[in-house]
Structure 1
Amino acid sequence: MSHGPVLVGVDGRSGSGKTTLAAALVDRLSPFAEVRLLALEQMYPGWDGLAAVTDDDGPYVAALRRLAAGAPADVPTWDWHEGRPGPRRTVAPADVVVCEGVGALCRGARSLLTLGVWVDADDADRRTLALARDGEVYAPHWDRWAAQEERYLTDHSPAHAAGLRVRLH
């Protein structure tokens, strides 16, 4: 019996620990399987781009469909330093694909994911960690990104769709 790839979505608000958890999953699983990381942060078209990526017809869900079928996925990237689209990137199929970022558990992705993980954290801790990590670049955009996250939480209810909820800090 042949099984398709394992697709894991790791979602949570900015600064919650998604990237840390996803990196640990990739690290721990890599000795046993071919593992890829699909970071949604590379796909958002700028600071106002969360909805564009999480739309049912957006690039993230399209990539998941291809990867679930065992095919490579061609995804857009964003050049955060230049503030414009970057080169497209091909994500090769793998035994396990860890999809990490705000939006990973959007409605359109859920039926394609093997497991959805929601990473929780207190708001004050999230802000402290996110700004410590990306301070000068992120600080001016924190409020506008947080507003997009709020809309995403309302529209998609990702925490309720997760098969697993964790708190890293």
Structure 2
Amino acid sequence: MVLPDGEPAAGPWTPVPVATLAQRLLEGAPRGDDGGWGDRPWVVAVDGRSGSGKSTLAQSLLPHLAPAVVVHTDDLAWHEPMFGWAHLLVEGVLEPALRGEDVSFRPPAWEERGREGVVDVPVGLRAVVVEGAGANQRRFAHLVDRTVWVQSDHALAEQRGIARDVEQGVNGDAEESRRFWHEWMAHELPFFADEQPWTRADAVVAGTPTVALAEGEVAVAEGPLGR
């Protein structure tokens, strides 16, 4: 696995059932007197570079953390400055959810540009999974209970990310998508070099192939990056 400068290689990698990883991430989660999930959700951040496999991992964890929802940082970052959306996550989603409030949040750009829908975090959840590049920032680390870093081969992540963008049509055709990708990398690479979220990770998962996996398994690092 070839990584950007400054990110240490994790490993050795061990196949682990997704259910087992989810159980590890729930260790310490509050329980209410009635046997329920307590008065606030457990917050799990799934962070990693673009194209690393964060969304796939978050969705695979979801049924094992249920009742749970995924909050995609891409939704909060929509028409916001690159990596300048942390205040929306904190003030619009995490703080009210952790106060036990029902969250139905519309970011300002959604209102301004007529985007439909809401970021929905109902009460009574066991967990909220925050997924996206920058999901484990120092700025709101005090609001996050468990963190995952998804490590990926840089070139393969780029191939996957551009192919995904072309398929979804979010950044134009193939040439436009490649141009946007490199513009994004000009921001993402120094952002992660400064943040180094892998140093705060409770688990490191391989988002690109490292070892053979059975269905329902992920490769988890048992080395020094995980805790």
TM-score in terms of structure 2 length? 0.63
1:60 positional shift: 1.1
Matching residue within 47, 55, 69 for 2:99: 69
Q: State the match for 1:146 in structure 2.
A: 185
Q: Does 1:126 align with 2:162?
A: no
Counterparts in 2 of 1:85 and 1:17: CA distance versus 1, 3 Å: farther
Asked whether the equivalents of residues 148 and 205 of structure 2 are also in contact (C-alpha less than 8 Å), the reply is yes
In 2, the alpha carbon distance for the partners of 1:112 and 1:134 equals 31
Asked whether the equivalents of residues 59 and 75 of structure 1 are also in contact (C-alpha less than 8 Å), the reply is no
Counterparts in 2 of 1:76 and 1:134: CA distance versus 1, 3 Å: same
In 2, the alpha carbon distance for the partners of 1:108 and 1:127 equals 27
Unaligned runs of 5+ in 2: 1-30, 33-37, 172-176, 209-227
* Letter in structure 2 aligned against 1:95: R
Q: Does 1:158 align with 2:187?
A: no
In 1, the alpha carbon distance for the partners of 2:162 and 2:141 equals 30
1:69 positional shift: 1.8
* Letter in structure 1 aligned against 2:61: L
SS at 2:71's partner residue?
Answer: strand
* Letter in structure 1 aligned against 2:115: G
* Letter in structure 2 aligned against 1:38: V
Matching residue within 55, 58, 64 for 1:19: 55
Counterparts in 2 of 1:156 and 1:122: CA distance versus 1, 3 Å: same
Counterparts in 2 of 1:123 and 1:77: CA distance versus 1, 3 Å: farther
SS at 2:70's partner residue?
Answer: strand
Percent identity reads 28
For the aligned residue pairs, the C-alpha RMSD in angstroms reads 2.3
Asked whether the equivalents of residues 64 and 109 of structure 1 are also in contact (C-alpha less than 8 Å), the reply is no
Q: State the match for 1:40 in structure 2.
A: 73
Unaligned runs of 5+ in 1: none
In 2, the alpha carbon distance for the partners of 1:78 and 1:85 equals 8
Q: State the match for 2:89 in structure 1.
A: 60
Q: State the match for 2:215 in structure 1.
A: none
Query: How many residue pairs end up in the alignment?
Result: 159
SS at 1:166's partner residue?
Answer: strand
Counterparts in 2 of 1:77 and 1:161: CA distance versus 1, 3 Å: farther
Q: Does 1:109 align with 2:140?
A: yes
Deviations 1:6-53 (A, max 9, x none): 1100010100000000010113333xxx2111011111133x623211
TM-score in terms of structure 1 length? 0.82
In 2, the alpha carbon distance for the partners of 1:161 and 1:134 equals 29
